[in-house]
Amino acid sequence: NTSVVLFTSDLRVHDHPPLRAALAGAETVVPLFVLDRAIEDIGFAGPNRRAFLADCLTGLDRRLRDRGGRLVVRGGDLVEQVRAVMADADAADLHMAAGVSRYAHDRERRLREALAADGRRLHVHDAVITVLPPGAVTPAGSDHFAVFTPYFRRWSGQGPRAVLGAPRTVRVPDHVTSLPLPTREDLTGLSPGLPRGGESEGRARWNAWLRDGIDRYGERHDALADDATSKLSPHLHFGTLSPVELVHRARARSTPGAEDFVRQLCWRDFHHQVLAARPRAATADYRTRGDHWRSPRSAARDIRAWQEGRTGYPIVDAAMRQLLHEGWMHNRGRLLTASFLTKTLYVDWRVGARHFQRLLVDGDLANNQLNWQWMAGTGTDSRPNRVLNPVLQGKRYDPDGAYVRRWVPELREVRGAAVHEPWKLPAEERARHDYPGPLLELAEGLGRFRRARGLD
């Protein structure tokens, strides 16, 4: 007998409950990935994530081939393709990971109905994409936590499931056909510094991080110039690494840095459990503050300057250019650029979230939308009116200015922290730099925001 394993955001063979369950119950297994037309149609995935996905599928195929198997890729309507593959393989069971978004819930429901009509079964596995399943811990009187600290406490108290090894052999029926694997070479418009995807790449990065980075994570992670975070986010987004395995192995180190790292992984689970309980929060305010954001048309010039990294605030511009170049941005950069767009320019968080989603290689519905809401003060943040001052943020998290000089070459010759306030440089030096003056005075933005929120 044969089972099908539908891969989604879990593109690995290690610690993969659906794959293990399928292999335990069947002699042959079809590992399936569907290039889902519905996801392509909504334009969710820009070229950076498509390229990373292509690497991940190539990597998964290679790992399956090492075990005697292969990956079957299909394209089109997901439910139709799954039904067709199950019919071809004469498979009775489909295994897959549980998702958290509205789309994922809908996909599960449609698959369950279609398979029931065909006399086949769907098995949905928890704790594949997150450490704990959303809803595994809840506060009294609610279906999810809206405050991180009590969530973290309860999350930490509940041990994750045990880690599963990679299977030794995977036998796939010969006659099930596959499309050719997509490759990143087929794509244009990629960020030049885009990282490589795939399980081997992810595991190598994780092992290097355990060796060289994690123990000093707590003291260094906010230093913008140091590159002292794990950069594992795209691997967690595509599931080439298992968050359950990461938590077990990080905890085994018992260092303060590793504990801080586990806490960040908990943030990921936190946002996933919010989105699972409130799928509308992907587009609608989690908590409305009565904002009447500037219309994208009237703010078009400011939005463009923000997207292109030409606001005249060097730390904002450096971070936005890192995003354009790498398809990734440091967390501190994400915080301060999101604050700048929503609170200083008073532009709707959805405009910023869309731009990030288009470029981020780790672009993730739960993490991106809910972090944007957090910074806009429409989400679960307990300080909704906090505004990050880009000059103070620059001086604090890039004290020597090295991060700005790396990404804003126009200012490369300015020494030290003076790079954060180029408008204070002598006029003749400013004239040499070809760098724009500030888009607006910070006090002007702050005043508009405070009036809009009824704070003055």
User: Which C-beta is closer to ligand FAD: that of 73 or that of 224?
Assistant: 224
Please report how close the Cβ of residue 380 comes to ligand FAD at its closest, in angstroms. Answer: 11
Separation of CA 331 from chain center = 11
Binding residues (CB under 6 A) for ligand FAD: these are 221, 229-233, 236-237, 264-265, 267-268, 271, 331, 334-335, 338, 356, 360, 362-364, 367-368, 371-372, 375
Return the half-sphere exposure (C-beta side, CA atoms, 13 A cut-off) of residue 18: 30
User: Which C-beta is closer to ligand FAD: that of 99 or that of 363?
Assistant: 363
User: Which C-beta is closer to ligand FAD: that of 6 or that of 246?
Assistant: 246
User: Which C-beta is closer to ligand FAD: that of 67 or that of 231?
Assistant: 231
Tokens 């126009």 sit on residue: 410
User: What's the angle, vertex CA 161, arms to CA 159 and CA 163, rounded to 5?
Assistant: 125
Hey, which residues does 123 pair with through a beta bridge?
Answer: 95
- Asked whether the beta carbons of 342 and 376 are under 8 A apart, the reply is yes
Hey, which residues does 36 pair with through a beta bridge?
Answer: 76
Please report how close the Cβ of residue 213 comes to ligand FAD at its closest, in angstroms. Answer: 8
Please report how close the Cβ of residue 338 comes to ligand FAD at its closest, in angstroms. Answer: 4
- Asked whether the beta carbons of 176 and 72 are under 8 A apart, the reply is yes
User: Which C-beta is closer to ligand FAD: that of 81 or that of 233?
Assistant: 233
Please report how close the Cβ of residue 224 comes to ligand FAD at its closest, in angstroms. Answer: 11
The three-state secondary structure class of 26 is coil
172 burial (CB, 10 Å; 0-12 / 13-18 / 19+) is: buried
Q: Tell me how long the chain is.
A: 456
Please report how close the Cβ of residue 263 comes to ligand FAD at its closest, in angstroms. Answer: 9
Please report how close the Cβ of residue 358 comes to ligand FAD at its closest, in angstroms. Answer: 11
DSSP characters over 384-404: TT----HHHHHHHHSTT-HHH
User: Which C-beta is closer to ligand FAD: that of 93 or that of 348?
Assistant: 348
Task: Give, for 57, the enclosing helix (H) or strand (E).
Answer: helix 47-66
Closest CA to 15 of 186, 194, 171, 248: 248
DSSP characters over 350-376: HHHHHHHHHH-TT--IIIIIHHHHHHH
Please report how close the Cβ of residue 369 comes to ligand FAD at its closest, in angstroms. Answer: 8
Closest CA to 389 of 446, 437, 347, 428: 446
- Asked whether the beta carbons of 405 and 306 are under 8 A apart, the reply is no
User: Which C-beta is closer to ligand FAD: that of 87 or that of 392?
Assistant: 392
Hey, which residues does 30 pair with through a beta bridge?
Answer: 4
Please report how close the Cβ of residue 202 comes to ligand FAD at its closest, in angstroms. Answer: 11
User: Which C-beta is closer to ligand FAD: that of 5 or that of 335?
Assistant: 335
User: Which C-beta is closer to ligand FAD: that of 167 or that of 309?
Assistant: 309
Please report how close the Cβ of residue 316 comes to ligand FAD at its closest, in angstroms. Answer: 13
349 burial (CB, 10 Å; 0-12 / 13-18 / 19+) is: buried
